[in-house]
Amino acid sequence: MPRRNAYAGFAVFGAFWGVWGASLPAIRDQAAVTDGQLGTALLFIGAGALPAMLLADRAGLTLVPSTGERDDVDRVAEAVVDGFVVWTTADDDPVVDAVAATGRHAAVHGGPDRGLPVVTIDNRAAARAIGGEAFSHAGSPAVLSFPRDRARESQLLIDPDPATATFPITRERLAGYREAAAQSLKVAVAARNSASEGARLTAALLSGPDPPDAIAAMSDELALGALRVAPNIPITGWDDSDAAEQAGLTTVWQSLHDQGAECARIALGRAPSRQPSAWRVVRRQSSGVNRHTGG
């Protein structure tokens, strides 16, 4: 059999890393790196298993930038590669259909599901579970959310319809949080994924007429910012980072390494695993603040 000679990883920073989008130019300038170097670094953060899998198969890695411009589709069609990984993006991103049209092996991390294998956890079930931890005694629950669409606008919303979010991960997590909340749900949409953004949004929520008494954040970074401003209410995060452990943050664990490896296997021509990607709730002190457990 001929050896595979190329592999394209798309650095498409959607909902999963999407809130980084607004800050990427500043990060690039501060680090004094090129767009390509920054893309490589970010891809390795989110899918560190990809290079290892490819090395094991003696395959190369090619980064094909996806910028949201019209020529994204042309770059996909012209890429001299054997397979694709599309990093999570929005329903209306034409890159996914362009990849499918090539007929090559491809995997989509996080969604959307448009006929290609999607590698992700059950975000709705995980959000429902972690929301249950955060909101079990809440009278005024709130969510710190990833962007709802590619406009990436920061907003304060009351009970938004999850179906209107075009980023699949945002949509599924909002739906799960909604199912976990017994009361009306405030949603503060982040423009970027940072502790400072989490702190800013939390301060805005607390200054409103009905401040939250529990907060579930879609990332540990946002949650850590919320903890700075509101240390005396239940707060949960997502991803189980080292900083989350140090802060005693209740969060959702998932293995991005394993998901990246699965994407690589699919792009190299293997059949998708029938086993769903694993996740679990990691309970720590932050979700038990001011909670009466009886006894």
CATH number, domain of 113, equals 3.40.50.2300
pLDDT of residue 284: 97
Q: Are residues 161 and 106 in the same domain?
A: no
Q: Are residues 168 and 191 in the same domain?
A: yes
pLDDT of residue 49: 54
pLDDT of residue 85: 86
Q: Are residues 54 and 155 in the same domain?
A: no
pLDDT of residue 10: 35
Pairing of strands 155-158, 186-189: antiparallel
pLDDT of residue 58: 55
- Separation of alpha carbons 241 and 249, rounded Å: 9
Rounded mean pLDDT for each run of 10 residues along the chain, 295 residues in total: 38 31 43 46 48 54 68 85 85 92 92 94 98 96 96 95 96 98 96 94 96 97 97 97 96 90 86 93 88 35
Q: How many domains does the chain have?
A: 2
pLDDT of residue 126: 98
- Separation of alpha carbons 45 and 48, rounded Å: 6
Q: Which of 274, 141, 155 lies closest to 213 in space, CA to CA?
A: 141
Is 234 a member of any domain?
Answer: yes
Residue ranges making up the domain that contains 133: 123-253+281-288
Q: Are residues 95 and 144 in the same domain?
A: no
Place of tokens 């190369």: 60
β partners of residue 250: 236
